[in-house]
Amino acid sequence: MTSTAHWRNLAARRQYRPVRPPWGRFQPSCPGRFRPRVRLSEGVSRTLDWPAFWAGVHNRLRGASFRNGTLLGYRQVLRAFRSHMDAAHPDGRASRPAFVSDEDARRFLYSVANKGASWSWIAFNITVLRTAFDKLCGLRVTAGFRTPKRPQPLRDILAPEEARRLLAAARSARDRLALGLLYGCGLKVGELCALRVGDADPDTRALTVTSAGGTRQRTLSIPENLLPLLRAEMSFREAGDFLLRGRTPGAPLSARTIQRLVRSAAQLAGLPKEVTPMTLRHSHAVTRLREGENIRVLQEDLGHRLVETTLAYSRYILPPDLVSPADRLSILPRAPQPMRSAFAALCHGGGP
Here the CATH number for the domain that contains residue 173 is 1.10.443.10
Q: What is the extent of the structural domain holding 256?
A: 160-316
pLDDT of 213 reads 67
**What is the C-alpha to C-alpha distance for residues 268 and 93, in angstroms, rounded to an integer?**
57
pLDDT of 212 reads 64
For 207-262, write each residue's pLDDT tens digit.
999 876 667 899 999 999 999 999 998 988 888 899 998 888 888 899 999 999 99
User: Is 131 in the same domain as 170?
Assistant: no
**What is the C-alpha to C-alpha distance for residues 106 and 129, in angstroms, rounded to an integer?**
10
User: Is 131 in the same domain as 164?
Assistant: no
pLDDT of 342 reads 46
Does any domain span residue 323?
no
Residue type at 251 in one-letter notation:
A
For residue 108, the tally of other CB atoms under 10 A from its CB is 22
φ/ψ of residue 139, rounded to 5: -85, 170
Does any domain span residue 9?
no
Does any domain span residue 5?
no
pLDDT of 60 reads 86
- Average pLDDT of the chain is 81
Ranges assigned E (strand) in 134-227: 200-201, 206-210, 217-221
Does any domain span residue 321?
no
- Residues 6 or more apart whose CB falls under 8 angstroms from that of 56 comprise 38, 39, 40, 48, 136
**What is the C-alpha to C-alpha distance for residues 109 and 127, in angstroms, rounded to an integer?**
11
Does any domain span residue 4?
no
The dihedral over CA atoms of 310, 315, 320, 323, expressed in degrees to the nearest 10, equals: 160
CATH number, domain of 112, equals 1.10.150
Q: Highest-confidence range of 44-48, 163-167, 316-320, by mean pLDDT?
A: 163-167
User: Is 126 in the same domain as 184?
Assistant: no
Which residue, 264, 179, 193, is CA-closest to 229? 179
User: Is 67 in the same domain as 164?
Assistant: no
User: Is 178 in the same domain as 265?
Assistant: yes
Between 149 and 68, name the one with better pLDDT: 68
- Check if the beta carbon of residue 97 is closer than 8 Å to that of residue 53: yes
User: Is 114 in the same domain as 243?
Assistant: no
User: Is 312 in the same domain as 247?
Assistant: yes
User: Is 196 in the same domain as 78?
Assistant: no
Does any domain span residue 228?
yes
* Bridge partners, 69 (sequence order): none
pLDDT of 347 reads 44
User: Is 165 in the same domain as 311?
Assistant: yes
Q: Is the pLDDT of residue 69 over 80?
A: yes
User: Is 306 in the same domain as 165?
Assistant: yes
**What is the C-alpha to C-alpha distance for residues 58 and 70, in angstroms, rounded to an integer?**
11
pLDDT of 219 reads 93
- 3-state class (DSSP) for residue 252: strand
Does any domain span residue 208?
yes
User: Is 130 in the same domain as 185?
Assistant: no
- Check if the beta carbon of residue 140 is closer than 8 Å to that of residue 134: yes
Give the count of domains, the chain: 2
**What is the C-alpha to C-alpha distance for residues 22 and 54, in angstroms, rounded to an integer?**
8
Q: Is the pLDDT of residue 30 over 50?
A: no
User: Is 167 in the same domain as 227?
Assistant: yes
Does any domain span residue 349?
no
